[in-house]
Every structure is written in structure tokens, then in C-alpha cells.
Structure 1
Amino acid sequence: MTNRFDTPNAPLRAEPRPYAGTQNVQSVSATPGGLIRSTLLAAGAAGAILVLFWLPAEYGIDPTGVGALTGLTEMGEIKQQLAAEAEADAKAAAAPIAASAAGDAVPALAAPAPEILARLDRIDAQLAAISAVIGAPPGLTSPEVVAAAAAEPAPDAAAAPASDPVEAAVAETAVPEPAAPEWRDEVSYTLNPGEGIEVKLAMEEGQTARFFWTANGNVVNFDLHGDGSGQNISYEQGRAVPEATGTLTAAFTGNHGWFWRNRTDVPVTVTLRTGGQYAEIKAP
């Protein structure tokens, strides 16, 4: 007689039941080919960002031309030029101090390579054009200096009639030169293309000196700064500036003055006139 409670000899096993929520879910296997493809896509995207945006914005390198269309190339070139100017100015300022401490003669500034001068000239021309349209970056030049640089006529415009609107604009923005008897010292230097020079006034903290300098019909880059008493300060900077006038108040006891560099392709003569409170003028 068979017991109705008898079970087969096979072990009991619960049959899995499909869950309705997972019937349409498909897994994706992480195959080596899929990982390599994802890695290559990510690397391609990073490379595109590097070439299209980062290189033009940081270094002015634009192999695709996208940086020129978006304005990033000009930004990168400006950054590189400012860095080069700052490094050159720092070396020019440190060389006389180191030479004086060692008792050696101050070495003459070495002229840059012609290809570097040509590139910097192109960058200066682009910056001058940008400044004429949208204005110079804040803090680099005063409004009067930017207006004078933007309205400066071409070299052959000197013979134009007095009614020329460009000459009229220059006449309106030009600062009148003070009378000669007010000046205490006057020095002039001729800078060859790419050459720079530094002239400073020995001043006590709080002393004020008057100044007027001119590139005599041309333009120069300049940096008005000071150092001494363990401190350094930059009062004003400018590019492609024909002349400037004003007062200089010493922020601390030390040497305060100008560094000029000729970025044109012709010799430029810079004339500086000073007066007011200072012990002496320090010039090469």
C-alpha cells in the first residue's frame, strides 16, 4: 500500500519564479573591447578640449583655428607676453643690483632673437588694435594714455592738414608739457629695437616728485615701479605709450622710477624730466 505522504527520492527544490519588474532588464557585460572603447572616447574628448580650448587660452597655440574665432588665442598670447615682460623686467632690475654688490660693471642688456622680436611686434600690434576697440585691461594704463595710443596717427600723417580729425583727437588727449623752469633734471636715452633701460629716483617715504617723459614721436612699453626697504611695488604699466606726465609719491623709502622697452623696429629716444622731492636721479 502506498502512503499518500510518501515523496519521491529526489530532493525538494524550489523553482525560481520570474519577477515582473526584471523581465525587461538586460545586463551589459564589461568586455575588454568595451572598456578600451570607453577609454579611447574619454581620451579623445580630453584631447579635443586640450587642443581646442586650453592650449589657445593659456599659450596662444591654435592649431585648429577655433581659438582665433573664439578669442582664446588672443587671451593666451596676452598671457605669454605679460609673462615674458615680467620676467625680462625682473632680470633687468636684478642685474644692476647683483653687479653692484659684486663690484662688477653692469652688463649691457642682450638683444633678443629676431624671430622673438617679430612675434612680440605682431602681438603688440594686435593688443594695440584690441585696445583701440574695446579698451586696455584694467590697471594697465590710464584712460588718457589709452586714448592717446588709440588715436596716435600713422608716421606719414605728420604732414596732414591741421583739420585732420585724427590729429585733432591727439591734440585733445595730449597732456600739455609743463614749463621748462619747473624741472630739476632731464635725461635722454636712445633705445634700439628690443632694448630696455631703467631710471629711478632715490626718495624717502611720502616724498612726491613731478615727472614728464616722452618717446619723441614714437611709442614704448613702460613699468613705473619701486623697490627698497625689503619691499617692491608696481605703480603703473603700459604698452605702446607715446608719453606720460604726473606725480610720483614714494610708498616707502627706496628707489622709484621707470623701466622702458622699445618694441618697435626702429630706434626710439626717451626723454625724462623730473622735479620735486628726491635725493638724486639714478641712471646708467
Structure 2
Amino acid sequence: MQHTLSNKALFKSTVIALMIAGVVLISFILPAEYNIDPTGIGTQLGLTALANPEGTAIINTEQSEKLSTDAQHKTDSIDVIVPAGRGVEYKFAMAQFKKMEYQWHTDGAPLFFDLHGEPEGDTTGYYESYAIATLTEMKGSFTTPFAGIHGWYWKNTSNKPVTVQLTVGGEYSIVGLKK
């Protein structure tokens, strides 16, 4: 014997399913996928961090030959916006044993950062960190131990976007924001 539902029971089940779907959409999917959080539940559960709106970067380039004789030395000033509660990576492609001089500072809030490099052609996920800290500014230089992609990961734990003003000099190609 097969049990069948009446039209009234089927309609009631459909309405309940639509209500549950609406609550899930508003409470979980919109905050996680689109950073839209009308109820505030997505922020409380940390779901808005999953909707990583892209950081932005503005680059000003100057060419200079004063620090290098065998290749052109260049200097760039880059503004990187790190969204609230998010992290971004900004990278440069560099040959082995090339030097980069840098300085950066935020517009006030400290950021966790990891200055690191990833070897060219590596598929294992290996990277080497050169400096890890939480600061509002840093100045220094590094020489690449291997050819590859080198740069910063900044994480903003505040509730407001933070702008990093990064000035670099050396022999490199800008990769930019890494997705």
C-alpha cells in the first residue's frame, strides 16, 4: 500500500521548505557569497570573511638606473587596500639573488604580515618566509634565495579597510594582487 499526501499537506510542506530556503539564503548564502548581511548573523558566524571582495592596488612607476649597472633598477609606489576582516597578497617576480629594498606603512591600523617567496615552478605549495609580524610599518631589504614569486601577505583584523603604502626598488616584475 502506497501512502499519498493530500494537496493541503503538500502545499504546507512546500511553504515550509520555501521559508527555510529563504532563511538559509538571507542568513548564510548572501553573507558568505556576496558579503550581504541584512540580519548580522553572517558577521557573527564569520561567513562574511568568505566573500572576499578583492583588495585594490594603485601603482606609480618611476624608472631609474642609479643603483644598478647590469640591469635597470626601478622604483614603484603602490597603494594596496586590505579590506576589513580579509587578507591579500601582493607579489613580484624576481630572478635568483636579486635584491629588493622596500618600505611600507599603513594608514594607522596594524596588520599581520608574512613576507615570503615561492620558488618558480614549484607545485608542492612550498614557500619560505623572510619576516612575520604584526606592525603598522616596516623598512628593509631582502635578496632572493631562488627565482620565483616574492611578496607580502597582509591580514586586516580590524572592521575597516586599511591602506598600505608600499614603496619598492630593485629588479623585479610586478605580479600584483594574487588571487
Give me the TM-score of the superposition, normalised by structure 1. 0.36
Per-residue CA deviation, residues 8-48 of structure 1 (Å, 9 max, x unaligned), is xxxxxxxxxxxxxxxxxxxxxxxxxxxxxxxxxxxxxxxxx
Which residue is 2:171 aligned to? 277
Q: Which amino acid aligns with 1:237?
A: I
Contact 1:109 1:195 survives alignment (8 Å): no
Higher helix share: 1
Is the 8 Å Cα contact of residues 109 and 196 (structure 1) preserved in structure 2? Answer: no
Higher RCO (C-alpha under 8 Å, 6+ residues apart): 2
Q: Which residue of 1 aligns with 2:87?
A: 196
Task: Please give the secondary structure, in 2, of the residue aligned with 1:225.
Answer: strand
1:235 deviation in Å? 1.1
What residue is the counterpart of 1:238 in the other structure? 133
For residue 60 of structure 2, what is the aligned residue in structure 1?
none
Q: SS where residue 44 of structure 2 aligns?
A: helix
- Report the residue type matching 2:119 in the other structure: G
Shift of 1:277: 2.3
Partner residue in 1 for 2:105: 214
Taking the TM superposition and a 5 Å limit, the aligned residue runs for 1:254-269 are 254-269=148-163
In structure 2, C-alpha distance between the alignment counterparts of 1:272 and 1:110, rounded to whole Å: 27
**Secondary structure of 2:127's aligned partner:** strand
The CA deviation at 1:217 is 1.9
Unpaired runs of 5+ in structure 2? 1-32, 37-41, 47-63, 67-73
- 1:252–1:110: structure 2 CA closer, same or farther, 3 Å change rule? farther
Cα distance change of structure 1 residues 243 and 203 upon mapping to structure 2, 3 Å threshold: same
Q: Which has the larger radius of gyration?
A: 1
SS of the residue aligned with 1:186? strand
Q: 1:253–1:267: structure 2 CA closer, same or farther, 3 Å change rule?
A: same
Shift of 1:264: 1.0
Give the drift of 1:206: 0.8
Partners of 2:158 and 2:98 in 1: CA distance: 34
Per-residue CA shift, 1:166-194, capped at 9, x if unaligned? xxxxxxxxxxxxxxx89711111222211
Work out the CA distance in 1 between the residues paired with 2:132 and 2:105: 15
Q: State how 1:2-151 maps to structure 2 within 5 Å.
A: 113-115=42-44
Q: Which has the higher strand share?
A: 2
Seen in structure 2, the aligned counterparts of structure 1 residues 265 and 222 have a Cα distance that, compared at 3 Å, is same
User: Offset at 1:116?
Assistant: 5.7
State the one-letter code of the partner of 1:242.
T
Offset, 1:110: 7.2
Once residues 196 and 265 of structure 1 are traced to their aligned partners in structure 2, the CA distance between those partners, rounded to angstroms, is 13
Residues 222 and 110 of structure 1, relative CA distance in 2, 3 Å threshold: farther
Structure 1 gap segments, 5+ residues each: 1-107, 118-180
Give the Cα separation in 2 of the matches to 1:270 and 1:236. Answer: 17
Farther off after superposition, 187-196 or 199-208: 187-196
1:186 maps onto 2:115 in alignment: no
Give the superposition deviation at 1:261.
1.1
Identity across the alignment (%): 32
Report the aligned-residue RMSD. Answer: 2.7
Q: Give the C-alpha shift of residue 219 in structure 1.
A: 1.2
